[in-house]
């Protein structure tokens, strides 16, 4: 194994498997660890979510996951400091040997955690964020955006735009910011990219979406082949989420103003990487988004990981596929940086190298 610097240098010319064809890259293989994880979720989290959907009232328990996650360790050498945004807290996370702009690193990742806009936060995702920082060689601004039931999704997006402005104020350029998120954070990654473009703040380098929720409407997911195959979410949970989010908008006087990522104008969006498990119910969103990006002429790499669970990347300390997926994210992010350095005036993306350590196939979107 080479040093961290050597590994980053070796990836300098990679840009994932960006394509302008309506295809998905199928990453074959599910380790015993990943299968055990999937079985565990199917018999714990999924039944609990199903029970939540059957309650005759909205129940939003305290964010216990976020409090308990304070005890979780991060990678050795990781550091972070608090960043106070206008309406929420955040933190700048740096893996070992990673510098921020004050240390001469002009690139940065803006990250939005998942949790269905209802749970999780900075603590639950610090380990995943630190691994992404290490894989990319870039600092990561991990945003603790406001969530339901206290604020609607529109306010979460507003917090994301505030975070992007903060990065600009620190000296980063828009084209040096890669916007990333998992699950509900994937929704925010695309939504915030769209919002900063519309606000005239510049074009981000790229978007990375991990197991993203991209459409609050459950109709497409209800009709998908994975409607009852997901090991984490029953369909009823997605339908309940739709109802809750719409009620939240109504209470705040928001009527017909929200546009989900799958319905946004996409022609001027930056290149995108989408990672999703092959049995996830959110595969419907990922496939539709990838097809729309292709139609809009935007380079996209849709990676469908064989039998992996929702946001399996968070289990990188145990699941080998999770570590490989995070390396793919590092390849994508550093590849964008290298491509910009070689041809800063071009919007097209060079053909990448292919990873040879895993077998891959191609599936139609």
Euclidean distance between CA atoms 243 and 102, whole angstroms: 45
Contact 141, 81 (CB under 8 A): no
17-52 burial: b if 16+ Cβ within 10 Å, else e: bbbeebbbbbbeebbeebeebbeebeeebbeebeeb
Question: For position 360, what pLDDT does the model report?
Answer: 46
Cβ-based neighbour number of residue 12 at 10 Å: 15
42 within 8 A of 231, measured Cβ to Cβ: yes
Closest CA to 94 of 112, 75, 113: 75
Q: What is residue 243's predicted lDDT score, i.e. its pLDDT?
A: 86
Radius of gyration of the chain (CA): 19
Which residues form the domain of 194?
4-364
How many domains does the chain contain in total?
1
- Rounded distance between C-alpha atoms, residue 112 and residue 209, angstroms: 10
> Token pair for residue 90?
């955040």
268-308 residue pLDDT tens? 999 999 999 999 999 999 999 999 999 999 999 999 999 99
Relative orientation angle of helices 320-342 and 122-136, to the nearest 10 degrees:
60
Peptide bond into 149 cis (omega under 30): yes
Q: What is the CATH number of the domain that holds 345?
A: 3.40.50.1820
* Active-site annotation holder among 23, 66, 91, 280: 280
Catalytic site includes residue 183: yes
The active-site residue out of 130, 156, 183, 278 is: 183
Q: Strands 272-277 and 206-210: what pairing?
A: parallel
Q: Which of 310, 321, 327, 328 is catalytic?
A: 310
Residues lower than pLDDT 70 in the chain? 1-23, 57, 59, 61-62, 255-257, 341-365
- The residue written with tokens 């990838």 in the block is 290
The predicted-structure confidence for 236-250, as pLDDT tens digits, reads as follows 999 998 888 888 888
* Catalytic residue list contains 191: no
- pLDDT at position 18 is 54
Q: Measured between alpha carbons, how far apart are the two ends of the chain, in Å?
A: 36
């Amino acid at each position: 194994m080479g040093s961290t610097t050597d590994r980053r240098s070796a990836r300098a010319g990679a840009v994932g498997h960006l394509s302008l064809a309506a295809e998905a890259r199928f990453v074959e293989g599910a380790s015993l660890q990943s299968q055990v994880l999937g079985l565990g979720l199917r018999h714990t989290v999924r039944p609990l979510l199903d029970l939540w959907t059957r309650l005759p009232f909205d129940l939003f328990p305290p964010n216990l996951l976020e409090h308990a996650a304070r005890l979780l360790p991060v990678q050795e050498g990781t550091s972070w400091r608090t960043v106070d945004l206008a309406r929420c807290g955040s933190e700048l996370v740096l893996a070992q040997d990673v510098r921020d702009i004050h240390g001469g690193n002009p690139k940065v990742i803006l990250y939005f955690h998942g949790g269905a806009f209802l749970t999780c936060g900075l603590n639950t995702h610090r380990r995943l964020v630190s691994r992404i920082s290490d894989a990319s060689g870039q600092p990561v601004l991990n945003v603790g955006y406001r969530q339901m039931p206290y604020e609607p999704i529109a306010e979460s997006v507003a917090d994301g735009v505030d975070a992007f402005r903060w990065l600009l104020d620190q000296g980063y350029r828009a084209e040096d910011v890669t916007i990333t998120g998992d699950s509900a954070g994937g929704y925010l990654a695309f939504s915030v990219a769209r919002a900063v473009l519309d606000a005239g703040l510049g074009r981000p380098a790229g978007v990375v979406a991990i197991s993203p929720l991209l459409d609050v409407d459950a109709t497409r997911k209800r009709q998908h082949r994975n409607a009852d195959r997901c090991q984490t979410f029953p369909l009823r949970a997605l339908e309940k989420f739709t109802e809750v989010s719409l009620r939240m908008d109504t209470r705040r006087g928001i009527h017909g103003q929200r546009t989900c990522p799958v319905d946004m104008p996409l022609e001027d969006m930056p290149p995108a990487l989408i990672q999703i498990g092959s049995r996830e119910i959110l595969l419907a969103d990922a496939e539709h988004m990838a097809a729309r990006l292709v139609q809009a002429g935007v380079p996209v790499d849709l990676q469908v990981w064989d039998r992996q669970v929702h946001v399996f990347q968070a289990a990188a300390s145990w699941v080998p596929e999770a570590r490989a997926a995070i390396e793919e994210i590092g390849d994508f992010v550093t590849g964008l940086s290298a491509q910009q350095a070689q041809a800063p005036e071009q919007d097209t993306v060079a053909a990448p190298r292919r990873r040879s350590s895993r077998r891959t196939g191609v599936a139609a979107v």
